[in-house]
Structure 1
């Protein structure tokens, strides 16, 4: 009887560890441009959980577009872009970096998880980053501003 109890306790502990690892996984990000869904690709991240820890370095968003890993979403000039993480980041750790086709980059002003797409036509890549108690993650999106 003691062996059965011990086996059950061990199985519950293993199941709990697996659930904890799953429940505290890397948050996802959803982005919309004027309520149109924008493709999001997970970028570089470092993440820790109860039983594992890893850092993964991915290629830059511009290279992701060139290699076909990201399909740019066509948006109107000045489109209202909104984003939502599946889990709330720590404090004010969110940042958005915009890069144009020429490789120039700027920090994007955001308010209430919204920002505006550029007015000038062209291809733009965004890196949206945030930090949580268990690590930090960046995400990449690409938009093609057309009039």
Structure 2
């Protein structure tokens, strides 16, 4: 599978949790069917990436997914809302302070995979212990 995925903002990276994937190894396909990202995040409870309102996040995979296969979606309850990507791998987070759940998915020649993560949008200077 791919070696590295990074969701970043100003040098900080988000903790990600794997979601459903299918991957081919030689002549064998391995699929992992996971719960929806809200449930996976609820179980794993990764630390949120703290960002400013309207921050632009960048997602990179190494190796990169096939052209135009990368998607980013925000989850509101059970509703998945695909985000508009700029430059193929960047999107703007909400302006309103709060916690937000996202997932990223991509396709490679060997298969597809996804990762969920949480961000916390905070006003500059607003400090809260984690």
TM-score range normalised by the length of the shorter chain = 0.7 to 0.9
- Residue 111 of structure 1 corresponds to 86
Q: CA deviation at 1:51?
A: 5.1
Q: Would you say 1:86 and 2:68 are equivalent positions? A: no
Q: Would you say 1:70 and 2:66 are equivalent positions? A: no
- Whether the 8 Å CA contact 2:17–2:44 is kept in 1: the answer is no
Structure 1: how far apart are the matches of 2:42 and 2:81?
A: 20
RMSD of equivalent CA atoms: 1.7
Q: Would you say 1:146 and 2:122 are equivalent positions? A: yes
Q: CA deviation at 1:105?
A: 3.2
Structure 2: how far apart are the matches of 1:41 and 1:66?
A: 11
Q: Larger % of strand: which?
A: 2
- Residue 112 of structure 2 corresponds to 136
Q: Larger % of helix: which?
A: 1
Unmatched 5+ residue regions in structure 2? 124-130
Q: What's the TM-score once normalised by structure 1's chain length?
A: 0.74
Unmatched 5+ residue regions in structure 1? 1-24
- Whether the 8 Å CA contact 2:19–2:40 is kept in 1: the answer is no
- Whether the 8 Å CA contact 1:26–1:47 is kept in 2: the answer is no
Structure having the higher Rg: 1
Structure 1: how far apart are the matches of 2:24 and 2:104?
A: 20
Q: How many residues are aligned here?
A: 122
Of structures 1 and 2, the one scoring higher in RCO (CA 8 A, sep 6+) is 2
- Whether the 8 Å CA contact 1:70–1:142 is kept in 2: the answer is yes
Q: CA deviation at 1:59?
A: 2.2
